[in-house]
Amino acid sequence: MARIIQLTDMHVLPPSQRVSGVLNTYELLIDTIDTLLDDWHKIGPIDAVIVTGDITETGDVESYQLFRQQVRRLPVPYFLIPGNHDRRDPLRQCFEDMATIPKSGKINWVHDLADLRLIGLDTLIEGQGGGDLDDADLNFLAQAIAAADTRPILLAMHHPPFASGMVFMDQIGLTDTGPLADILNAAPNEIRIICGHVHSTIISNIGNTVAISAAATCSAFPTDYRIDAPVGFNKTPRGYSLHNWDQGFRTTCMTLAKSSGPNPFNAP
């Protein structure tokens, strides 16, 4: 059994700054960690936290340090991959002591829990919104899958390997997913892909593999499939994902909204 919290798209900025002039993402990060700690005894035991990119808004060192100060409040190991808003060198500078952050190049990694292999894949093209996986990344993945034997795999990547239907996001999606699908389809393991980027929960697939994007912790992109849909964000719903492995995958999409209860069913 393994249980993983996925946080994505924090877009942290120093508290004096606002994302798009509106969002105090540092405050929203603190609220996220506070909420997790409040709920920890209900959703645990938790083995690890995976952060699927857009950790910061601009890839600056100060924001990575602010993120680190908050995420370290969670009492389990955490693992990072970059998103399109991140920059590898500042990220590396702030997390260079982590075994899963390579000293150079892409931030691809493997970490084994007792029953589950975690793989992180770096889809960032620095300075661009869209993402890709080059031949070296795909080779890394193929080898990481082969070395997992029959263990199940939770594969984390920022850009979803599916179209979201949101025009402005699919213009900055993951390019050329065919070779990735070939590797996944050839694998005997049970694999679940988890991603971020689209600031909403979407369940889809690539080949035979289920892929799920998590709600962002800082904002939500509205579901609007019109070609001329207004481009922007909503402040809610914010959330995160809870991934469970126990002879099969189960993902629960968790809200960060405040709520009272539970109210008893039979109350007068």
Among 247, 251, 209, residue whose Cα is nearest residue 115: 247
Residue with Cβ nearer Fe ion (11 or 92) = 11
Residue with Cβ nearer Fe ion (145 or 196) = 196
Distance (Å, whole) CA 66 – CA 72: 10
Query: Least distance (Å) from Fe ion to the CB of residue 129?
Result: 10
Q: Dihedral of the CA atoms 78, 79, 83, 85 (nearest 10)?
A: 50
Residue with Cβ nearer Fe ion (2 or 83) = 83
Q: Which of residues 90-109 bind Fe ion (CB under 5 A)?
A: none
Total of residues contacting Fe ion (CB under 5 A): 2
Distance (Å, whole) CA 106 – CA 119: 13
Q: Which of 3, 4, 6, 9 binds Fe ion (CB under 5 A)?
A: 9
Contacts of 233 (CB under 8 A, 6+ apart): 20, 23, 199, 219, 220, 221, 222
Q: Which of residues 184-213 bind Fe ion (CB under 5 A)?
A: none
Query: Least distance (Å) from Fe ion to the CB of residue 9?
Result: 4
- DSSP letter at 19 equals B
Taking CB under 5 A as the rule, which mask of x and - marks residues 148-187 in contact with Fe ion?
Answer: ----------------------------------------
Distance (Å, whole) CA 80 – CA 98: 9
Residue with Cβ nearer Fe ion (79 or 221) = 221
Answer yes or no whether residue 54 interacts with Fe ion by CB under 5 A.
yes
Given the rule CB under 5 A, which residues bind Fe ion? 9, 54
